[in-house]
Structure 1
Amino acid sequence: MPTMLFALLLVFQVETNAQIDPAHCRYSLGMEDGRIKDHDITASSQWYETTGPQYARWNREEGDGAWCPAGLLQPSDTQYLQVDLGQLTFLTVVGTQGRFARNSGKEFARMYRLNYSRDGQDWRSWKNRLGDEVIKGNDNYYDSVLKDLHPPMICRYIRLIPVTQVPNTVCMRVELYGCPWHDGLISYSSPEGQLMLPPGHPIASLNDSTYDGDHRLKKLSGGLGQLTDGGIGQDDFLVTRQYSVWPGYDYVGWRNGSLASGHVEMEFFFDKQRNFTFMKVHCNNWFHRGVKIFSSVSCSFKPRLLANWEAESTEFHTVLDDRNPSARYVIVPLGHRAAIALRCRFRFADAWMMFSEIFFQSVSTIIPAQMTPEVTSAWPIEESSMLTTHKTATDPSAKDQPEDGNTPVLIGCLVTIILLLVVIIFLILWCQYVCKVLEKAPRRILEEVTVRLSTSSDTVILQTPPVPPRVSQMDPPYERIFLLDPQYQDPAALRNKLPELSQSAEASACGGGYAEPDVTQCTPHQCFQNSVPHYAETDIVNLQGVTGSNMYAVPALTVDSLTRKDITVAELPRHRLIFREKLGEGQFGEVHLCEAEGLPEFLGEGAPLPDRDGRPVLVAVKQLRADATNNARNDFLKEIKIMSRLNDPNIIQLLCVCVSSDPLCMVTEYMENGDLNMFLSQRELESNLTRANNIPSVSLSDLLHMSVQISSGMRYLASLNFVHRDLATRNCLLDRRLTIKIADFGMSRNLYSSDYYRIQGRAVLPIRWMAWESILLGKFTTASDVWAFGVTLWEIFTLCKEQPYSLLSDEQVIENTGEFFRNQGRQIFLFPPPHCPSSLFELMMRCWDRDIADRPTFEGLYQALRPHVAQ
């Protein structure tokens, strides 16, 4: 019985899935919060004890505020700050600060180099993909500069070496970002990658350009490189994911017949003995150019470094695919073999074989190959196994004692361990449940921090006064940092890197398919300049309106000055409004629920008001704050002018205004059933069960009717060349008869703050509803509203039970828009909602077409949806 329990316990050992994604491996490693201890931070020298290496902590100001090497730093100096990370780590980002010292220090490092080591003995110099060693640091003593490492490095020890061109004093504080390197691979050896040449093939250099080991006699040994950097090559090996590199950069490749052995032999060495489940090799399969995945592979194992290779090897034959040229992972089972090193021989299936990534899944605990029921008190173990026992089966003293002497103790230990496992599993499931419940909760926004993206593709500068962090036991062990490449937030940088984006933007800006008298005669260059993102401009807050909303952007309706005669609705005496509840607030104003006494008589016959039997009418009042800027005041009046001219059954109606004195107010309809998001999330799809138990529900016909109403309202706005910019269920209101009216209050309500993403500390954008061109180019058109309408349809038919792209972070959503632009089939679409007709989901997919011109119009959407309601 103990034998079976112990075997079961070994089976439950957690496997290490070591596939690394550099875009998500960006956790702070502990300089700021103290997880990296003082004794793990050393330096070659220090100016004073109060500027020793232990004071080089990011955002901390103990001692004299930073680490400062002794004396003036000379151009020839190699003074360094060294950090021991405690384990092998995949390092992706380095952050540096100067010495702030409560606004008295003014020393900083303008440049620095990085040296790293995996064992503390063999040190290597980090170089970027173009071979440069020097990294640009700080320009002043108060900025925080975060630098992406391209390529990332795998190390345990890291040295930061400040660099100067003239004698100077420097001081540094640092933070390091990455994640543990659970793969355990410390080096691999292989034949040197080769050069592909004509005739018959294009020119492509397929060398391992970032390999950090030895290059001797056309063989690589003792290091790591592109096969472990997390970068996956594309289907066409000539197309690279990096910029300013050569064709074939993402792959390491070899030509059939060029190697004396006839195969590619690679050896992999690990930090300790492991039990290997499988190996995954990412291969190119562009067979049109003579490239295929390997035909077979055989792997031998070495249990210890000083042992010989075992005679028994594993053999795996692949299934070759001559129909699909896509690059793919090939999974090679390794049969749970125990080893500290592997030697694999890959055999060719065509003229060329190319790899871009290799990783292993393994466990560090060795599962015994044979279970002997006779042994109850002890277990044989391998040298590097993590399991230990007091006695082994071969211990002579064990034979002298009765077998049942240790049995109760062993059973008690096993029961305790199993109970601990049950508790851990329960906690994991509970955490997953809590995360799911909080999925729609507001995300943490970094307050009082202005993020300024530089033109460099790997630098982010954070401007904030250094404040010592508050360390709490409730804080997670890792703080995630998302540092997007500026190509996703700086369209100018994106246009420089992607020329085709500039061309598509020029075409769409001048031929977007909607009337804009002020741009129809522009030149392509002028049109493109006009498409600079609004959220990158200085008047960003103006787009958010009074309450933080951005409804009804009308490029052609720009008025320098507005007077009372421009407003076509009546002035309501302010004393008739009785405050009842605050509904929301924004940048410069608030939205209130009010009672309007005598409103039907004041507005006269034909006013769009419900029958209240003489009772006060409930209205929504948007009010400008007294401290609002002049720009906000002008925007408020412009919004009044726009809304006063809108007249459609499915658009919220402006009833009257109070603008003769401050504070300025606009009075709109109030919808009794609230917004569509809240309405649907509290209901289930109608069924026999909901009818029998009186559960609030809606029918499929109701959902289609709602969709038609929204398309009708948007059709009306599109006919006037109005662009909403924030179409979503939260901005669709319902009255008692389930009539939908499109509004713009969603952004002003804290309930939906998690639906908006803060850009550069100021603008908030509904990125999960935005078209790719709106996020990347800042271009908002009727076609981008069509995209948002498709997402709104998806919300309706999921009954608003979850947020769009709920499994993606905000940063991943932004990155996904880049895949929509590149249009290589890697973009992630929303999944088909349950119970949604297939024809309707196809309509949603058309709304998310990459090409603006191919998306349907709102007139076409209305005509396509209306017959479904009639049925």
Structure 2
Amino acid sequence: MHLFLLLILHLPAAIAQIGPEQCRYALGMEDGRIKDQDLSASSQWYDTTGPQNARLNCERGDGAWCPKGQLEPSDSQYLQIDLRRLTFLTLMGTQGRYALGLGKEFAQQYRLNYSRDGLLWRSWKNRQGKEVLDGNKNTYAVFSNDLKPPVIARYVRVIPVSKLSTTVCMRLELYGCPWDDGLMSYSAPVPSLNDSTYDGVQDKKKLTGGLGQLTDGLTGLDDYRLSHQVQRPGYDYVGWRNDTPGILGYVEMEFVFDRPRNFTSMKVHSNNMFSRGVKIFSSVSCSFKLHPKAAWEAEPVVFNTVLDDKNPSARYVTVPLNRRAARLLRCRFHFADVWMMFSEVSFQSEDTVLSTLPTQMPMMGSSATSDDVIMKTTPTTAATPSSTASSEDGNTPVLIGCLVTIILLLVIIIVLILWCQCVCKVLEKAPRRILDEDVTVRLSSCSDTIVLQTPPVPPRSRHPPADPHYERVFLLDPQYQNPAMLRNKLPELSQSAEASALLLGNPLYDLLLLTSCHMASGWFGAFGGGYAEPDVTQCTPHQCFNSSAPHYAETDIVRLQGVTGSNMYAVPALTVDSLTRKDISAAEFPRQQLIFREKLGEGQFGEVHLCEAEGLPEFLGEGSPLPDRDGRSVLVAVKQLRADATSQARNDFLKEIKIMSRLDNANIIRLLCVCVSSDPLCMVTEYMENGDLNMFLSQREMESTLTHANNIPSVSLSDLLHMAVQISSGMKYLASLNFVHRDLATRNCLLDRRLTIKIADFGMSRNLYSSDYYRIQGRAVLPIRWMAWESILLGKFTTASDVWAFGVTLWEIFTLCKEQPYSLLSDEQVIENSGEFFRNQGRQIFLYGPPLCPPSLFELMMRCWSRNIPDRPTFEGLYQALRPHVTQ
């Protein structure tokens, strides 16, 4: 059956591990996170024009960095920035010397040099080989340059270029995000499809000492002949042919890292256009060594992939590396066809280096996510040349036996499929035992001690559900989509054992709940959780189908889906009347004063843009939530409805505006104004300078002597508790209004310049977080790793399910967002785990206790994940429990 799952599982292509379109965060020149001691220059006119003054939008000293003397065309004066860690750079912004109107110097062009170790310097070139970047046209306006390809470096030198003898001055900001892979270089045989941006040494046989297209954040398309940016067949891929001289059935690549690490996995984005002789690799063997001068460890880790001749989609292949410790990896990728093409290679590792030995621990199915190819783990020992031949001879009968077994299994599978198609008319009975019986719960004890006082709660029920048929999640056959047919089948279904199955995300599920239980439908129907629904934790699914407890019917719930494709809040209908544009209380802002800067995200109905709003503080007048900008424009987020949006979407948009205009809390994103007098309809909300909490925390470490000494961005335990208090405060406010958020997570918590957290709803619209959402039957997307079991299985969303998500958000905060919740489980395993919560037989898997969190706080998280809804704390209780432990 496991083989059956491996063969039929449909796995779509995944996004890159780090993307140049999302990795565009200011690195700290303007706000001072890059310290003065990290800035140096080849020369300067005076101390007042030294490198410490080269900060974008700042007027320190004489207003900029100015190299000494007239800049000649042959000069190579430079400003050097030490970023203190390897960084993925995607954008440069430059200014001249304004000096409050007195300056007149700026650089019309410049070049970039960069280094990963401070010793070997490289010159940046674009994809066409051009080195010079366009600079400024005046002293005050910022000019931005996208770096295509992006740069991976710790040290950056900005070198102004001039065609004539002139004086130049510069201010700048760098944009990107940390390069957590720590990969310094990779080496490989010279590919047949060139690695055109490789910045190392290339001779006739080998690439050595550099990085290139395999680390540029751009994954290739399913058809390798197409390209994202350069219209040249195969440009996005680095490819090898198996008949190339010197390649003996495999491609050997060597990866060098900045320091020793414990490697958990490697992800390789591979093309699988098998109709043209391209396939993912058949197997890979990785060897390890801790130091460059050490010998390679004797026992490599070998993984065999399950080849796919049915789905031509490109995809990530995840190779678990068993936490092996190393600084250098050597991996041999074996061909499965004529061509092997990679577009991205990334590594997941832990900084703490532990001595590890090759192990044959059994793995739980696979550590790959649903976007990855599932693999079989086969650790092997190295063999001498003399023993290899004999071992192959000895293994021949075993291989023949395996092949015969596989053929027999395939025959059985085909018979089963035909039987299911003929007999299973209602449910697609494909029982999947994805979770192993012996999976253990990973709980870590914590050393810190903080006592959190929480209100008493009733004792938890220890009795499992009574219905023995409630055993698994089943997906409905696609042919059952006709509502009339479903109504005819309803009596039959409600009396059958199949009705006890958890019908996830399907119109039949919506109809059953609406007709028989009068509950609000799931994500595909109304966006309301129902605030007085039957307590499904106290009855079996069969009993629930016959429940007559008080409820909100579907007509009592607002069908509100946000512009970004997500829902901001689910609210009772009594909070939103039928309305027109005249009913909107938010002020109409002049559309021409919005200057669009970049797209932050998009969804089914509209887009979210970063804009400059000229004169907005003055427009809002006294009591404006915006800081005083001395007449300068302010940054805002603008949600804009698409021109082709449906009339229902337009009505929902106006309803969302009315709802948001009623929200007034320091920890909820605020609606500032609107543009609805003409199309396209827009709402203008606050923009948080420090981005979302997920990205903010993932770029930081826990405060320590080491972080202080090395100027590493850090946070303290008190900071994390303060963040938790702010989120609980915002959610307490929403709960008091009977608003259900449905998508609470760190990606939806935004931070302003003062690190105030405000809850929003942009997460689903951003490609950066698309892997946090699970797509059901090609339609809805659900943040299942944050959802309570009753939300996944029954489509029930309440304040109590928001409390569950709050517990997961706390877990994210105290892991500094270094990993995804349930990172060792695939999406299907997460859904299966929710079934274990319902069955309550002690086999459900909880998130482990983060080492950073106090034990009492982890106990609070566990209460948020109580199986029984009444056992979960309220947001009022959570706020009161957390607030006393924040330093005032």
Normalised TM-score (structure 2)? 0.48
Give 1 or 2 for the bigger CA radius of gyration: 1
